[in-house]
Structure 1
Amino acid sequence: MSENPVPVLIKNDPWLVDQTDAVRFRIDNYETHLEDLKSQYSNLYDYADSHLNLGIHYLPDQETWIVREWAPEAKSISLVGDFNEWDGEDSPLEKGEHGIWEARLEADCLKHEDKVKLRIHGADNSVRDRIPSVIRRAVQDPHTHDYAGQVWSHSETYPWQHDFDPSSITTPLIYEAHTGIAGEDPRLHTYLEFAENIIPYIASLGYNTIQLMAVQEHPYYGSFGYHVSNFFAPSSRFGTPEDLKHLVDTAHSHGIAVIMDIVHSHAVKNLAEGLNEFDGTDHQYFHGGGKGDHPQWDSKCFDYGKPEVRKFLLSNVRYWLEEFRFDGFRFDGITSMLYDHHGNIAFNHYDKYFKDGVDNDAILYLQLATTLAKQIRPGAIIVAEDMSGMPGLCRPIEEGGIGFTHRLAMGLPDYWIKLLKHKQDEDWNTDEIWGTLTNRRHGEPNISYTESHDQALVGDKTLAFWLMDQDMYWHMAKNDESLVIDRGIALHKIIRLLTFALGGEAYLTFMGNEFGHPEWLDFPREGNGWSYHYCRRQWSLIENKELKYEYLAEFDRQMITLGKRSDLLNSPQAHQLWSHNGDKIIAFERRHLITVVNIHPTQSFTDYHIPVKEAGSYKIILDSDAPETGGHNRIDASVDYQTKETEHGPALSLYIPSRTAFILERVD
């Protein structure tokens, strides 16, 4: 226990002084629980072992299968499946200490790929066939569409080929992807196809991290993977566990880290597939009563104050890092976890981050989870999807933080969409853009992005579609002159470069958005006749040399490559050199690179003076107006620009065309 020093989080931000006791409580609560764990187990790592004890395991030294399940209020449990023709009397489990049920079966009782369930007589007198809670594979019957657990014994033999150190990724440049939609055919695509076709493309763009969506098994494909039923099972609709390991191994061979969306913020309500009312009560894994329901998401809310639930979820963290060698996580729905009200308020006072409606049990769980992940995978990338802006989320726990390495800058996509929806181009304000893109907490790394995956779904619009709309269907040929497309391509590049260079310490794009994918995603559902027509990515659009999509992909590649080469984002925030709202020009310096942006729709400027810190000769190293990226080639990139001395210091005299952005580097 600490001796009541002022937490570092408070020292670094005097505005938080009134929250000193709350921050100190977070530190002390974590330390107290960690010491308690160590008194029962040797360490946090050994505590997180549910996946090794619960479930179905073969013990070769005993030539025995052991089946264990935690269901404290169940009245009886038996194992049913292919092996005993689903006979509920054949293989009963016996209840032992701490609500753990157990059965032992002879070696020849179960075999690889046998389908199994637990027949549970619940506390409410219900009798239901349930999938074991830590099952490592769940499969759907193609005819009945019912899910069942499946005995899987091949995973331990996967021949890993490539070691990878996630600490080598100093600046995550993240390509967010979904396996099932990662191909052009109107069907489900697989882990193996992703490894063969998509990873080399991601590498060619320069991204160094893949964020993989929809990994944990989920019964409804259209949930985008966020209504999880089986937390330890990689989704079988994309292939086997070994196929997923091959995907990760392949990415590592390209020097690319792989993080997964991990969903610990809620769980699917389904009784047949998930954990809801598992032992016949509503409070085994989740809060009982109304607190256990998430009304906006139609799902169940975990009770993070229950030790068994924390152990289950922490074991899940350990499992994915060790079994599949993921390099970290993007924790989904953190805002919903942090607050009893799930974030459905205005965060207009610091009390709302530390005192009012805060779920301290969830904070403790997240502190333990980030600690465990870093112990298992030093250098792990651990991202928080939080829209509340809780201070300290990405600071060390000993300082009063929660331990994440990055947070998503969720306000940036909303800002760009609002700007495109509500303001004419000539009304864009350079000071407002600067303020929005640079407004973040010092010392808490942000991941900037221009649009979220939600904007790619039916009912919303991607940035490209907001800019160009239906004209994308008819006027994207290179020989087709269109003012709408010309504007859209120019602003698509400018918005991305501004967001990339100003908005954070890491960067993310969603699959296909880098080249302005023209159509939304619409998952198979009753309303579209269960069609896969829009549930795919049309890579042929950038492969077609007659279309302009390759321009956007090429600019994205140049931008990412430059950012990686210069380590642009692994540096302090940018320093503004110039902002003139009348001229619509912004200029700034970051990592000794000078970025100049003219968002004026029509006005170009000659001999425009931009003040710089260092005198010398400068050269353009990235130009949104370059012809290979769909520009008008109005700037001569071969010219060296020599600074001039002015009364205010050195300055560059530049030609700055309308709707253009470029970056200069000092060359002497």
Structure 2
Amino acid sequence: MSNFTELDSYLFGQGTHYDIYKKLGAHIQMRKNTKGVCFNVWAPNAEKVYVIGEFNNWNETSHEMERVEPEGMGVYELFIPKVQKGSLYKYLIITKDGRKLYKADPYANYAELRPGTASAVTDIDHFVWSDSEWMDHRRSIGKDEVYEQPMTIYEVHSGSWKRHPGREDDGFYSYHDLEKSLIKYVKDMGYTHIELMGILEYPYDGSWGYQVTGYYAPTSRYGTPEEFAHFVNECHKNHIGVILDWVPAHFPKDAHGLAEFDGSPLYEYADPKKGEHPDWGTKIFDYGKNEVKNFLIGSALMWIEHYHIDGLRVDAVASMLYLDYGKQPGQWIPNKYGDNKNLEAIEFFKHINTLILGRNPGTVMIAEESTAWPKVTGPVEEDGLNFSYKWNMGWMHDFLDYMKLDPYFRKNNHYKMTFAMTYNESEKYILVLSHDEVVHLKCSMLNKMPGLEDDKFRNLMAGYAFMMGHPGKKLLFMGQDFAQAQEWSEARELDWYLLENPNHQKISKWMKELLHIYKRNRCLYELDSSWDGFEWINANDADRSIFSFIRKSKDGKNNLLFVINFTPVERPDYRVGVPKKKTYKLILNSEDPKFFGSDENREVSYKAVKSECDGREYSFAYPLPGYGVAVFKY
């Protein structure tokens, strides 16, 4: 009896076989009291398909696969007795024109360590999870309640976070090593989530995992699938969510990968004007083909449902939405209406986001989308794409442009720090300072800052405070929370030795304090996309480059006032307008000696008096230092 039934064929052909990874690929089974492995692969245009591997000494003709019914589906199957877990294999595909293609299994759950390119037999069904408390809570979160949860994301490239010195191999930290050290670090700092780059298997380290060949396999660079599951399990037990980068936009042309898988453009669009990215040298998935959509949807569901992943950050969304993305005139084909929208990719996003968020309450789908495409996080009923969040690239560019300026010139660019609030309600946003901003001659966050060393650190402190106070969830790339000096490179670990330097220690303590203040105060995350949760006190103090604003909780009982000075000029006579005649308690002060100040005796309580300031009836005086940050609770 075939492993792949008529019902499987029907659902796969409709693009709705949501557990497809349990049928295609290599699965350890018992047949007629014999343990072995059942191999299934989709290759409808192949002439013949063979399984070759360690178990048959890579013999090219000894194990021919059979087409299963209905034949038109093009699924091949072969059960091979006594094949062991860990055994390496590939599919040898004979094309209709007689070529031999040696392909890794698109549905493999494990792969040979690069530079090897074979797939590996494994069993992912027997891991015992113990994160029920986390998962029960996740399922209890309502659709709209998701947006009221705290979210501060620590973006991590596992291969360069830390490394073992002196090892002959790459010295990568394993999933087990990361479990012991990364979780502790993230928990101590106060982040709520880890976002992992480069977990889906990929061949070339320098792609950082954005050119995927194994959409169903955690990379073998850091260990086994079971060890990856254990890492996620431990994150959850420590109340840390896990987000993965997921890349449905394109795939590489590596010979063992998906490109022309059965001798024909199977996974990619057939026409190169639709099926290739000229700039990236990669193939574009055919979103009009049900089986291809099913391949991608099945991958996303496996990570979320099998590996308990809490969300996917979908890479390069804009490249999927626009047919002319990265292309010159003549390199692309308009849609049936004559414009540049990829209608099939739009429907794909509506389908997958609705499906995943509907089946998995409490999870998130995050779009890295860099254009002004409307309603990325809007509901399908209003022609939205139904993502949970969108990276706010506009805020990021404006923020960095402002922060790079000499403070003298900031007064003429004041709007760059206020503009994002004019469109804040249009989407559900995550404010991002990601890996893309600290590589390839872009400088680290510290070295983007103007001035000499002390000025750089104080600028960075002020910038991080503004980011943490501004509406939107947060993402910060590893190393930037202790002011990594070098640009990031995947080829080396972060410069942890910098934490022996007092200035780097202080910026780390500052970021930790900000993260814990964020988690303790509902006003900083409950109403991120509504003016009900934010109010400018003074958005127009351009001459002094000072920003003052309030974050408000739903019940009005947990409110914070932020005052941030973006010049080195002290304002001993500073006065800030406030909405109520209350006592305002200073909870964060950049002049605290544990940060960069020397003010040990600053008052903690400030009582508002009836004195007009900033258009308010009440105000209080606070001596504001150069690059000073003050956060008050009321």
SS of corresponding position for 2:572: strand
Give the AA of the match of 1:161.
Answer: S
- 1:281 pairs with 2:236: no
Tell me which of 520, 527, 540 is aligned to 1:565: 520
Give per-residue Cα distances to partners, 1:62-90, cap 9 Å, x unaligned.
54532211111111100011111111211
The match for 2:226 is 242
3-state SS, counterpart of residue 602 of structure 2:
coil
In structure 2, the gaps of 5 or more residues are: 1-6, 166-170, 329-333, 553-558
Letter of the 2:106 counterpart: S
* Structure 2 counterpart of 1:324: 307
Which residue number corresponds to residue 29 of structure 2?
Answer: 59
Distance 1:224 1:643, change over 3 A: farther
Determine which of 85, 97, 100 is the counterpart of 2:57: 85
Structure 2 counterpart of 1:459: 441
Q: Does 1:638 align with 2:604?
A: yes
Picking from 300, 307, 316, the partner of 1:333 is 316
Q: Which residue number in structure 2 is paired with residue 620 of structure 1?
A: 586
- Which residue, out of 350, 372, 375, partners 1:392? 375
Change (3 A) 1:286 1:356: closer
1:152 to 122, 129, 141: 122
**Is 1:48 equivalent to 2:18 in the alignment?**
yes
**Of 160-169 and 390-399, the range deviating more from structure 2:** 160-169
Name the counterpart of 2:358.
375
1:129 aligns to 2:102 (yes or no): yes
Aligned counterpart, 1:201 = 185
Amino acid at match of 1:434: M
Compared CA separation, residues 344 and 615, structure 1 to 2 (3 A): farther
Cα shift at 1:124: 4.2
* Separation in 2, partners of 1:120, 1:40: 24
What count of residue pairs does the alignment treat as equivalent?
588
Check the 8 A contact 2:43/2:262 in 1, yes or no.
yes
Give the drift of 1:564. 1.3
Partner SS state of residue 246, structure 1:
helix
Task: Give 2:550's match in structure 1, choosing from 589, 594, 611.
Answer: 589
Give 3-state SS (helix, strand or coil) of 1:596's partner: strand
Q: Alpha-carbon deviation of 1:286?
A: 3.6
Measure, in 2, the Cα distance between the counterparts of 1:338 and 1:401: 13
From 549, 553, 556, the counterpart of 2:504: 549
Q: Tell me: CA distance 1:172–1:318, structure 2 relative to 1, closer, same or farther (3 Å).
A: same
1:260-271 mapped onto 2 (5 Å cutoff): 260-271=244-255
Supply the distance in 2 between the matched residues of 1:310 and 1:425 (Cα, whole angstroms): 50
Q: 1:6 matched to which residue of 2?
A: none
**Conserved 8 A contact 2:163-2:172:** no
Contact 2:43 2:76 in 1 (8 A): no
How far 1:598 moved relative to its partner? 1.4
Distance, in Å, in 2 between the alignment partners of 1:431 and 1:416 is 10
Contact 2:481-2:508 within 8 A present in 1 as well: yes
Structure 2 counterpart SS, 1:628: coil
- Residue 210 of structure 2 is aligned to residue 226 of structure 1: yes
SS at match of 1:88: coil
Distance in 1 between residues matched to 2:605 and 2:295, nearest whole Å? 61
Contact 1:644 1:653 in 2 (8 A): no
1:112 matched residue in structure 2: 85
1:181 corresponding residue in structure 2: 160
Shift of residue 624, structure 1, vs aligned partner? 2.2
SS of match in other structure, 1:403: coil
Contact 2:439 2:489 in 1 (8 A): yes
User: CA contact under 8 A between 1:184 and 1:539: conserved in structure 2?
Assistant: no
Tell me what 2:575 maps to. Answer: 609
Out of 475, 485, 488, the residue aligned to residue 508 of structure 1 is 475
Which residue is equivalent to 1:521? 488
Contact kept, 8 Å, 2:199 with 2:245, in 1: the verdict is yes
Q: Which residue is equivalent to 2:339?
A: 356
Alignment of 1:73 with 2:77, yes or no, is no
1:576 CA drift (Å): 1.1
Q: Equivalents in 2 of 1:403, 1:335: separation in Å? A: 15
The aligned residue for residue 211 of structure 1 is 195
Can you list the C-alpha shifts for 1:580-630, whole angstroms capped at 9, x where unaligned?
1112221111112111111122x2223322211111111111122222122
Corresponding residue number in structure 1 for 2:168: none
- 1:348 maps to none
Deviation at 1:106, TM superposition (A): 4.3
* Corresponding residue SS for 1:65: strand
For 1:245-301, what per-residue CA distance to the aligned partner results, in whole angstroms no more than 9, with x for missing partners? 1111111011111010011111111112x1001111134434432321112222111
Distance 1:492 1:558, change over 3 A: same
Cα distance in structure 2, aligned partners of 1:160 and 1:358: 42
Q: 1:499 to 1:73 in 2, by over 3 A?
A: same
Q: Could you tell me whether the CA contact under 8 Å between 2:15 and 2:290 is conserved in 1?
A: no
Separation (CA, whole Å) in 2 of partners of 1:124 and 1:497: 63
2:285 to 280, 302, 305: 302
What secondary structure does 2:573 align onto? Answer: strand
**Cα deviations by residue, 1:397-424 (Å, 9 ceiling, x for unpaired):** 1232111111101123322433355x32
Q: Distance in 2 between matches of 1:219 and 1:66?
A: 25
Label 1:610 to 1:425 Cα distance change in 2 as closer, same or farther (>3 A). Answer: same
For residues 79 and 41 of structure 1, what CA distance do their matches in structure 2 show?
25
1:162 aligns with 2:117: no
Indicate conservation of the 8 Å contact 2:15/2:291, yes or no: no
C-alpha contact 2:586 2:633 (8 A) present in aligned 1: yes
Please report how far the alpha carbon of residue 207 of structure 1 lies from its aligned counterpart in structure 2 after TM superposition: 0.9
Deviations 1:530-571 (A, max 9, x none): xx4xx21233432x2x53211111111111111111121322
Measure how far apart 1:38 and its partner are.
Answer: 14
1:98 alignment partner AA: G
What SS is found at the alignment partner of 2:244? strand
SS at 1:147's partner residue?
Answer: coil
Using the TM superposition, give the Cα deviation of residue 377 of structure 1 relative to its aligned residue in structure 2, in angstroms: 2.0
Q: How much has 1:505 moved relative to structure 2?
A: 2.1
Q: Contact between 1:593 and 1:664, CA under 8 Å: does it hold in 2?
A: yes
Contact residue 548 and residue 564 of structure 2 kept, 8 A: yes
For the residues of structure 1 that align with 2:590 and 2:164, how far apart are their CA atoms? 32
Q: Distance in 2 between matches of 1:43 and 1:302?
A: 16
Contact 2:535 2:550 in 1 (8 A): yes
Is the Cα–Cα contact under 8 Å of residues 437 and 499 in structure 1 kept in the other structure? no
Conserved in 1, the CA contact under 8 Å of 2:571 and 2:623? Answer: yes
Q: Which stretch of the first structure deviates more once superposed, 401-410 or 652-661?
A: 652-661
- Which of 477, 487, 494 aligns to 1:537? It is 494
Task: Tell me the CA shift for residue 436 of structure 1.
Answer: 3.0
Higher mean C-alpha displacement, 58-67 vs 277-286: 58-67
Query: What is aligned with 2:536?
Result: 576
| 8 Å contact from structure 2 (residues 323, 340) kept in 1 | yes
CA spacing shift, 1:414–1:613, aligned 2, 3 Å: same
Q: 2: distance between equivalents of 1:189 and 1:359? A: 40
